[in-house]
Amino acid sequence: MTFASLGLAAPLLQALETLGYQTPTPIQTQAIPAVLAGRDLMAAAQTGTGKTAGFALPLLQRLSSAGGPVASNSIRALVLVPTRELAEQVHASFREYGQHLPVSTYAAYGGVSINPQMMRLRRGVDVLVATPGRLLDLFRQNALKFKQVETLILDEADRMLDLGFSRELDAVFAALPKQRQTLLFSATFSDEIRAMAKTRLRDPLSIEVSPRNSTVKSIKQWVVPCDKKRKPELFLHLLKNRKWGQVLVFVKTRKGAELLVTTLQAKKIPADAIHGDKNQPARLRALESFKAGEVQILVATDVAARGLDIDDLPQVVNFDLPIVAEDYIHRIGRTGRAGASGEAISLVCADEVPLLAAIEALIKQTLSRDEEPGFEPDHRVPLTGNTAPVAKKPKKPKVGGGRSAKNVPGNWVGFDAPVAKPARSAPGRSPAKPAAAKPRGR
């Protein structure tokens, strides 16, 4: 199978040859003809398998071969993405693929001034890649009109719902023309996404080139049990002893990202962070420094789990496990891209067992455990419900912070470690429960 056999035009084939693309991936093989034919589409494939080219190439061809000039403040195609980083990445791909075509592209997102974006849109744009919030800001200020939109693409739509963009998506759907082509591309499709597709898409073709919620086989995954307070020390130990080069590290909070960067920099290790408190120029500088090899360790919150496209990234480390199990798939998908091999290492402490159980239930596999000598945890990391022996029916675990327990498997049996003696309580108070017995919430 070749790209030419999929019906792509000569200017696109020329660009692909320049970029070194030789044969289409499975998702591209199935998606490109469907998009060229004008079908609505739901396409799921693992991260790093070429989804962007699967929709960008046929869209560029359709726009270049049909339709008149785009009007002022108007667009012909809209690509919605959940994060600023992904907006930049997708826009860069459109520019590379369409370098020999008379198709204009632009990216609009928050964290930067809206005025230059408004000025650029006055000339009209064929393809706009945007985040939902900034898109609606532009629309409500009459800087953007949707009358000419022919195609809507939702890239990583499940993540947009996870980030709370449900109302924004409803507003976008309400403003767009009813007659349009709609494409859903993602690494995973939640039940909510499938329900939305039933009401928003017209007789969509469904493509799934890999099992739902699966991880790339070329990524070696394992868990290193440890005590929470020793995670920074353990990471430094692994970095030195295993002679890691560049590493992308995921943490749970913005504060945690800055603390780890400070620790690394104190050891003269070039490190930087990407998180929501940083403005977009600072986030882009950190990413470009990492890509250029000037930064060895890039520490990120889940804002970067989707949208980081880094060549030859050998290791991803989950310093903290993600709260949402699906984010694990997207985190580790930053390595093992385009058929390359990679490693995903998770540092797991006792109170993260419910999160580990949810991840293992989602990916339908038990991650191997590899204790590092000298870092064996004092607070033992018990087996998950997927591997623990059958026990008496436990009480249903609660998840703190008001969050529902939808990511905690029903067969999770809790901790199997010996119950510690309760601490002495002050007169008139009930004895305190062991801290390890309660899964931590968001």
Cα angle for residues 88, 94, 98 (degrees, 5° grid): 150
More confident position, 219 or 373: 373
Tally of CA atoms within 13 A in the half-sphere of 362 that contains its CB: 24
Model confidence at 412: pLDDT above 60:
no
Domain 214-442 has CATH 3.40.50.150: no
Which whole number is the average pLDDT over 202-218? 70
Q: Where are the beta strands (DSSP E) in 38-143?
A: 41-44, 75-80, 105-108, 125-130
**What digits encode the pLDDT tens for the residues 126-175?**
999 999 999 999 999 999 999 999 999 998 877 777 666 778 888 999 99
* Crossing angle (nearest 10°) for helices 51-65 and 84-97: 50
Rounded distance between C-alpha atoms, residue 373 and residue 276, angstroms: 36
More confident position, 428 or 262: 262
Model confidence at 333: pLDDT above 90:
no
Instruction: Report residue 408 CA to chain centroid gap.
Output: 20
Mean pLDDT of the chain: 82
Nearest Cα neighbor of 182 from 165, 167, 163, 199 is 199
Token code pair at residue 366: 């038990």
338: confidence class by pLDDT, cuts 50, 70, 90: low
Domain ranges of the chain: 4-208, 214-442
**What digits encode the pLDDT tens for the residues 291-312?**
888 999 999 988 755 556 666 6
More confident position, 399 or 286: 286
Give the end-to-end CA distance of the chain in Å, rounded to a whole number: 47
What does the pLDDT read at residue 417? 36
SS3 content of the chain, % helix, strand, coil (to 5): 35, 15, 45
Which whole number is the average pLDDT over 227-233? 95
337: confidence class by pLDDT, cuts 50, 70, 90: low
**What digits encode the pLDDT tens for the residues 16-74?**
999 988 899 889 999 999 999 999 998 887 666 788 999 999 999 999 988 778 999 99
Rounded distance between C-alpha atoms, residue 252 and residue 144, angstroms: 36
Tally of CA atoms within 13 A in the half-sphere of 299 that contains its CB: 25
Q: Is the CA virtual torsion 188, 192, 196, 202 positive or negative?
A: positive
Nearest Cα neighbor of 53 from 90, 10, 88 is 90
95: confidence class by pLDDT, cuts 50, 70, 90: very high
Pick among 3.40.50.720, 3.30.460.80, 3.20.20.70, 3.40.50.300: CATH of 4-208: 3.40.50.300
Q: Are 149 and 76 a contacting pair, CB within 8 Å?
A: yes
In this structure, what is the dihedral angle of CA atoms 84, 86, 89, 95, given to the nearest 10 degrees? -80
